[in-house]
Amino acid sequence: MEPTSSNRKKAMARQRKAEVMIAGEQLRLKLHDGKLIKDRRYHLRTYPNCVVAQELIDWLVSHKEAPDRTTAISLVQHLMDHDIIHHVCDKRPIFKDAKLLYRFRKDDGTFPINTEVKIFMRGQQLYEHLIGDKNSILQLREEHGVAYQRCFPGCQLIDWLLQNGEAESRRRGLDLCRALHEHGIIQHVAKKHDFFDSGLLYQFCINFRRRRRLSELLNESKQDTDEGTVVSTKEETHHDSPFVLRKNPPQQEKSGFQSVGSRKDLKQVTSGRRGSLNSLKLHPAEFPPLSSTSVVTCNPKSVLRRNFTCEELLAPGAPFIKKVLTVIGDALGWGFVIRGASPCYVQAVDPGGPAAAAGVKVRQFVCQVNGQYVLHLDYRTVTRLVMTGPRAIVLEVIEPLE
């Protein structure tokens, strides 16, 4: 069964939105690194994580993201139209090149998390895991005499979802894959078929690791209007992802979370809040629960120096201390990963996410979640408690004494 023209247009339109999200997130991270986003006072009130409109336009032109101020203004307006940026008081729907304060919605927790965004984030998470897998199912394959790079049979993707705990059943895996197909995340290599649990070959049609200039957004937007289609992005060889907070070379790190090394490495927390897109909150009714096994590909082994039992952690006089931490999730998650079973522990922490800001550290053991005792539970159960709970979670953790 071939996809209809209407379905193809919808998928391409959704893919277009995804490209805007990638570019917007890339810009946000660059502005944080450049210290343009910071707390500012205006009329005796402090506005956190803001950028001045004039300074933003200056930066876009000086960094050659836009050829002139007029184009830069159009570019930011494009981001505003897609709910990436907004005026701090939401009083100005039209961007002005003036001394006005604007903020990225991801920095204040107002980024709209609708079904499309959830599917997009899930696709990005799966893509990162598959790219980083040494035995990845993404391989060079042939269909009808034509070779395609980084493609996979539909049935193998569902097998992989089941093996990695990303789907509870084959039916749920098929539903997830069809949702990714409908939203322009994956497609048949020849764009002739919908998604089937079969040997047909499919590819990711969004390169989540591609870096691009923001001015391309306006060029492609104009082409969309003129031609009624979306221009597919070309694969690039480098591995920098605008969604991944990484400081190390890509060959050393393939995850949205910082690799666990020395304690010095673990203290690299930036001043600007950067929520993790890999710890997105998904509702079980819509998709299979998000398994933390698929998130951390740079830390496949336990980060613990040795294993501990629950009895050892709770023994009188044991060299451990309890702490209570409140993690307020941002628009896209909490920014940490837990592993293990009875007890489970923190395997990785997004260095710029809410968890790091709240004091969550690698090798802490999770004792309670929102008042519920979880020390004897496995990480899948604890992860589900966090992801289906409130935005603000209260963690009681146990950590070794320094």
- Top pLDDT among 214 and 219 is at 214
Q: What is the pLDDT of residue 73?
A: 93
pLDDT surpasses 80 at 146: yes
Which residue in the block uniquely carries the two structure tokens 């053991």?
365
Residues of the chain with CATH 1.10.10.10: 10-108, 113-204
Average pLDDT for residues 67-88, to the nearest whole number? Answer: 90
Are the beta carbons of 150 and 187 closer than 8 angstroms?
no
Q: Who has greater pLDDT, 361 or 222?
A: 361
Buried b (16+ CB within 10 A) or exposed e, 327-336: bebbbbbbbb
DSSP string, 157-168: HHHHHHHTTS-S
pLDDT, tens digit (0-9, with 9 covering 90-100), for 242-293: 323 233 333 333 333 333 333 333 333 333 333 333 333 333 333 333 333 3
pLDDT for res 364: 93
| pLDDT value at 300 more than 70 | no
So what's the pLDDT on residue 221? Answer: 54
Q: What is the pTM of this model?
A: 0.48
Per-residue pLDDT of 301-358, as tens digits, reads: 788 888 889 988 888 888 888 899 988 877 667 888 888 888 999 988 888 788 888 8
Mean pLDDT of all residues belonging to the chain: 76
Region(s) of the chain under CATH 2.30.42.10: 252-400
Cα separation, 23 vs 26, in Å, equals 5
Domain 113-204: CATH class, spelled out: mainly alpha
Q: What is the pLDDT, as a whole number, of residue 1?
A: 55
CB atoms within 10 A of CB 35: 10
Domain 10-108: which topology? Arc Repressor Mutant, subunit A (1.10.10)
Q: For residue 222, what pLDDT is reported?
A: 52
Rounded distance, CA 234 to CA 224, Å? 17
CA atoms within 13 A on the CB side of 250: 12
Reported as a pLDDT band with limits 50, 70 and 90, residue 101 is: very high
Give one word for 109, left, alpha or beta, with left for phi > 0 and alpha for psi -120 to 50: left
Residue 384, SS3?
A: helix
**Averaged pLDDT for residues 216-242:** 43
Q: Is the predicted pLDDT of residue 230 greater than 60, yes or no?
A: no
Q: Which residues pair with 103 in a beta bridge?
A: 86
Nearest to residue 12, comparing CAs of 152, 191, 280, 258?
Answer: 191
Residue 197 near residue 167 (C-beta atoms within 8 A): no
Domain 252-400 is in which class? mainly beta
Q: Which segment of 87-96, 372-381, 382-391 scores lowest on mean pLDDT? A: 382-391
